[in-house]
């Protein structure tokens, strides 16, 4: 059986498709790499089969509980109005009724049926989204949560990067498998339009997969409180057509640019960087910088944002970040290195060249 049919038969997404087609169509329209503002962080616009089955079960539960609410609140309102105290009722007690088999059976059996239904349908979705064999063409990525940023390894491709996850569009044989773990505290990997939440736990590897059929930028958020800057531990997933993804891979596999003979400021910036504590926390492939505490900076300039999506990657923001990271992300774990203005300019020039 192909991966695709297994997934569809396993999920609620399929049987609930008519309810969802509108949301899915809107989602497809809204998606493009440029349309950043149109890429909402919402469960209600699922973009891959897994998110669709989660969306389906959410609606199912929502409708059942809505039904219960309407019945209970309706009966309550009816009784409150119909049997309210009226003049002349003062010293009378209402009739007391004991032991009605019909009533007791109905309020026992109906809730049991509802709970069993919810249990079975939820189990079906959980099994459907988890137990899928990894196809040969799957891309493997290791995700490491840090306070307050994301590290991504592509073990088979020899790439290390941070904060912006690139994956190819999936034609169902090329999903991306994520091995998720943490370097410090508990985080949670959550890109609502692509998958359910996955706990990010130290000393434990959890498996998740995403299978997005449409290119675009999908936003997410660390969904487990992990410290001061938890709210700015944002997730950005770039889903690219295969050719674009291959080009990205090729570029990322190169060591960092080191020939700055045509750019004296950047050349000087490289020297300042390599003689500063930056190299204890940051790695730049092909240089003496091999730190692993902070994000890999080998291709920093190829990223759209810095500090885990906190601010756009512009020279101005980059300079301010290096000068005083806490001014952009208070409580983040990179200290200010108290560089002078000249060193700030040169380091910014250097890092801006690392495409
Ligand atoms: C004590 C370790 C440490 C030192 C020293 C350090 N950094 Fe950082 N750096 C970090 C951490 C941690 C982050 C991630 C912060 C976050 O996003 O919450 C970071 C983030 C960055 C980023 C943003 C990267 C991205 O992709 O978002 C840049 C650029 C950067 N550092 C440059 C520097 C420079 C330049 C120096 C030296 C002047 C330096 N760092 C020194 C720990 C350090
Ligand atoms: Cu977190």
Q: Tell me: pLDDT of 132 over 80.
A: no
Tens-place pLDDT, residues 198-218:
999 999 999 999 989 899 999
Q: What is the pLDDT of residue 72?
A: 95
Ligand 2 centroid–CA 148 distance in Å is 6
234-240/164-168 β-pairing: parallel
Q: What is the pLDDT of residue 169?
A: 93
Identify the pLDDT of residue 38: 52
Give the span between the Cα atoms of 134 and 209, in whole angstroms. 9
Residues of the chain with CATH 2.60.40.420: 139-252, 264-352
195, HSE (Cβ side, Cα atoms, 13 Å): 23
Query: In the beta sheet, which residues pair with residue 323?
Result: none
* Distance (Å, whole) CA 299 – CA 256: 7
User: What is the pLDDT confidence band of residue 25, given thresholds at 50, 70 and 90?
Assistant: very low
What is the predicted pLDDT for the residue at 131? Answer: 65
With cut-offs at 50, 70 and 90, classify the pLDDT of residue 26.
very low
Residue closest by Cα to atom 43 of ligand 1? 334
Q: Which string of DSSP letters, residue by residue, matches 68-131?
A: HHHHHHHHHHHHHHHT---TT-TTPPPPP----HHHHHHHHHHHHHHHHHHHHHHHHHHHHHH-
Query: Which of 143, 149, 134 has the alpha carbon at shortest distance from 300?
Result: 149
Which of 252, 268, 276, 295 maximizes ligand 1 atoms within 8 Å of its Cβ, making it the mutation to test the pocket?
Answer: 295
pLDDT > 70: what percent of the chain?
A: 88
User: Residue range 306-322: average pLDDT?
Assistant: 96
- Containing 154, the helix (H) or strand (E) segment is strand 149-154
CB half-sphere exposure, 275, CA atoms < 13 A:
9
Longest CA span, the chain: 100
Full-model pTM: 0.83
pLDDT at 5: 36
Look up residue 283 and give its DSSP letter: B
| Residue nearest ligand 1's atom 8 by CA | 334
Whether the predicted pLDDT of 24 surpasses 60: no
- Please report the pLDDT score of residue 146 as a whole number: 97
Whether residue 2 is predicted with pLDDT greater than 80 in this model: the reply is no
Q: Is 188 in the pocket of ligand 1 (CB under 6 A)?
A: no
pLDDT, the chain, mean:
87
pLDDT surpassing 50 at residue 11: no
315 Cβ closer than 6 Å to some ligand 1 atom? no
349 lines ligand 1 (CB under 6 A): no
Task: Say if residue 9's pLDDT is above 70.
Answer: no
- Whether the CB-CB separation of 193 and 46 falls below 8 Å is answered with yes
CA distance 78 to 155: 64
Cα–Cα dist 231/217, whole Å = 19
Tell me the CA–centroid distance for residue 233 and ligand 2, in Å: 6
**From the CB of 308, is ligand 1 less than 6 Å away?**
yes
Alpha helices, DSSP H, located in 212-340: 242-253, 264-274, 278-281, 315-323, 325-328
Q: Does domain 139-252 have CATH number 1.10.3720.10?
A: no
Note the pLDDT tens digit of each residue in 154-200. 999 999 999 999 999 987 778 899 999 999 999 999 999 998 889 99
Mutate to test the pocket of ligand 1, among 311, 325, 354 (most ligand atoms within 8 A of CB): 325
Q: Which of 16-25, 80-89, 191-200, 254-263 has the lowest mean pLDDT?
A: 16-25
Is residue 22 helix, strand or coil?
A: helix
Q: Which residues pair with 237 in a beta bridge?
A: 165, 218
- Whole-number Cα distances in Å, 190 to 174, 200, 235: 20, 10, 8
Q: Which two tokens stand for residue 285?
A: 């492939």
* Test site for ligand 1: of 163, 228, 231, 282, most ligand atoms within 8 A of the Cβ: 282
**Mean pLDDT within 148-153:** 96
Which fold would CATH assign to domain 264-352? Answer: Immunoglobulin-like (2.60.40)
């Amino acid at each position: 059986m192909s991966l695709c049919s297994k997934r569809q038969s396993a999920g609620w997404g399929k049987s609930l498709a008519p309810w969802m087609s509108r949301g899915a169509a809107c989602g497809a329209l809204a998606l493009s790499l440029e349309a950043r503002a149109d890429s909402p962080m919402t469960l209600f616009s699922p973009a891959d089969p897994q998110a669709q089955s989660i969306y389906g079960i959410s609606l199912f539960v929502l409708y059942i509980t809505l039904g219960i609410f309407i019945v209970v609140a309706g009966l309550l309102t009816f009784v409150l109005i119909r049997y309210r105290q009226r003049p002349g009722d003062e010293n009378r007690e209402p009739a007391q009724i004991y032991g009605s088999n019909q009533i007791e059976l109905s309020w026992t059996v109906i809730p049991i049926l509802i709970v069993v239904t919810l249990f079975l349908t939820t189990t079906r979705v959980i099994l459907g989204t988890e137990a899928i064999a990894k196809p040969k063409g799957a891309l493997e990525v290791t995700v490491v949560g840090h306070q307050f940023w994301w590290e991504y390894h592509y073990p088979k491709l020899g790439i290390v990067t941070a904060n912006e996850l690139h994956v190819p569009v999936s034609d169902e044989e090329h999903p991306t498998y994520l091995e998720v773990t943490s370097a410090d505290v508990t985080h949670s990997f959550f890109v609502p339009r692509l998958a359910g939440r996955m706990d990010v736990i130290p000393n434990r590897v959890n498996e998740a997969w995403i299978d997005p059929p449409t290119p675009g930028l999908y936003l997410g958020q660390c969904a487990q409180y992990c410290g001061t800057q938890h709210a700015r531990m944002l997730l950005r997933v770039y889903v690219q057509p295969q050719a674009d993804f291959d080009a990205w891979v090729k570029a990322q596999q190169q060591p960092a640019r080191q020939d700055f003979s045509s750019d004296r400021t950047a050349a000087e910036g490289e020297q300042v960087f390599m003689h500063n504590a930056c190299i204890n926390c940051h790695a730049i492939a092909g240089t003496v910088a091999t730190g692993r505490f902070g994000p890999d900076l080998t291709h920093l300039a190829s990223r759209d944002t810095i500090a885990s999506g906190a601010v756009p990657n512009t020279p101005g923001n980059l300079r301010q970040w290096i000068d005083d990271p806490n001014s952009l992300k208070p409580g983040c774990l990179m200290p200010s290195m108290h560089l002078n203005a000249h060193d700030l300019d040169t380091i910014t020039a250097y890092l801006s060249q690392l495409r």
